[in-house]
Amino acid sequence: MIDPPASYRWTRRIALTVLLAFTLTPVLVMLSSSLKPLQDVQGPFRGIPSTITLRPYADIWKTVPLGRYFVNSLIVSGGATVCSVLIAILAAYAVSRYRFRGRRLFTVTVLSTQMFPGILFLLPLFLLFVNIGNSTGVALYGSRGGLILTYLTFSLPFSIWMLAGYFDSIPRDLDEAAAVDGCGPLRTLVRIVIPAAVPGIVAVAVYAFMTAWGEVLFASVMTNDETRTLAVGLQGYATQTDVYWNQVMAASLVVSVPVVAGFLLLQRFLVAGLTAGAVK
């Protein structure tokens, strides 16, 4: 659009300003309240702390074992991301490069698992994990491994779909040239397709990590004291008779930093990945 009229520019300016205020208010509240002394969050709300203190940031680690939750979340989300991306690459390669019987059925089935309400398979999965544990001794219930398995399937469908689209956009001439050079299908995948699809793979990894890091429902049922993740652990501040809102806000900020930083650094990959893959 070349040189839009003033009416358009003013509408745009006002709409985007209002939207920015709506979007940023909770973030600013989180930031300012995390720097307040306790009495500031126990009386009427104030935007700016009466005195700025870093105490909440020191206290959060003592009120609840936040450090342990943090490590658990890192292990679970990291594990789920690595596994999900690897499995999605293999599946997306098959969907993108081969025409085989059941190809459509596979994509439809996998995508349709996305619409299952989590509540429907939460309880059976819980019973399944307990039974597998009782009969084989593989402890899935209450373990980080069980949570990794669960979370990786949450991001898998979308990851396969997006990566398959991305792989489709990589010219097949490259594959054929590699085949002429004597590369097998797997060598072609590793040498040609994966390097060309790095933006898509990064986007999928960010998505998988965020999905695992933010999940609440399964974490609240499938973990015990030892394996509790941040999603459940953060509510520890709120179940006390006194809610330490300044600490809650500080803890929220601390647990948000890894994902938000990663997301903002890599968001252009996410947009590029969406453009090439999903949106077609």
Partner 1 sequence: MIRKRLGRTGLPYLLLLPALALELLIHLVPMVVGIVMSAKQLTQFFIRDWSAAPWAGLGNYRVAVDFSAPIGRSLLNSFWVTCAFTVLSVGLSWLIGTAAAIFMQDAFKGRGLLRAAFLLPYALPVYAAVITWSFMFQRDTGLVNHLLHDQLHLTSGRPFWLIGDNSFTALVTVSVWKSWPFAFLTLTAGLQNIPRELYEAAAMDGAGVWQQIRRITLPSLRPVNLVLVLVLFLWTFNDFNTPYVLFGKSAPQAADLISIHIYQSSFVTWNFGSGSAMSVLLLLFLLLVTAGYLFATSRRKGADD
Cβ distance to partner 1 smaller for residue 44 or 182: 44
| Nearby residues of 172 by Cβ (< 8 Å), 6 or more positions away | 97
Handedness of CA 272, 273, 277, 279 (dihedral sign): negative
Cβ distance to partner 1 smaller for residue 115 or 180: 115
Please choose, out of 28-36, 61-69, 164-172, 192-200, the segment that lies near partner 1 by the rule CB under 8 A. Answer: 28-36
Q: Which residue has the tokens 């938000």?
A: 260
- Span 64-93, contacts to partner 1 by CB under 8 A: 87-88, 90-91, 93
**Using CB under 8 A, which of 118, 176, 177, 195 touches partner 1?**
118
Q: Is 174 in the site for partner 1 (CB under 8 A)?
A: no
Residue 143 tokens read as: 């373990």
**Using CB under 8 A, which of 185, 191, 194, 196 touches partner 1?**
185
At its nearest, how many Å lie between partner 1 and the CB of residue 85? 12
- Span 122-141, contacts to partner 1 by CB under 8 A: 122-125, 127-128
Q: How many residues bind partner 1 (CB under 8 A)?
A: 93
Report in angstroms the alpha-carbon separations of 124 from 76, 131, 152. 21, 10, 18
- Looking at residue 51, the DSSP 8-state letter turns out to be S
What's the distance, CA 32 to chain centroid?
26
First-to-last alpha carbon distance for the chain, in angstroms, is 23
Please choose, out of 55-63, 97-105, 172-180, 194-202, the segment that lies near partner 1 by the rule CB under 8 A. Answer: 97-105
Distance CA 129, CA 148 (A): 13
At its nearest, how many Å lie between partner 1 and the CB of residue 174? 19
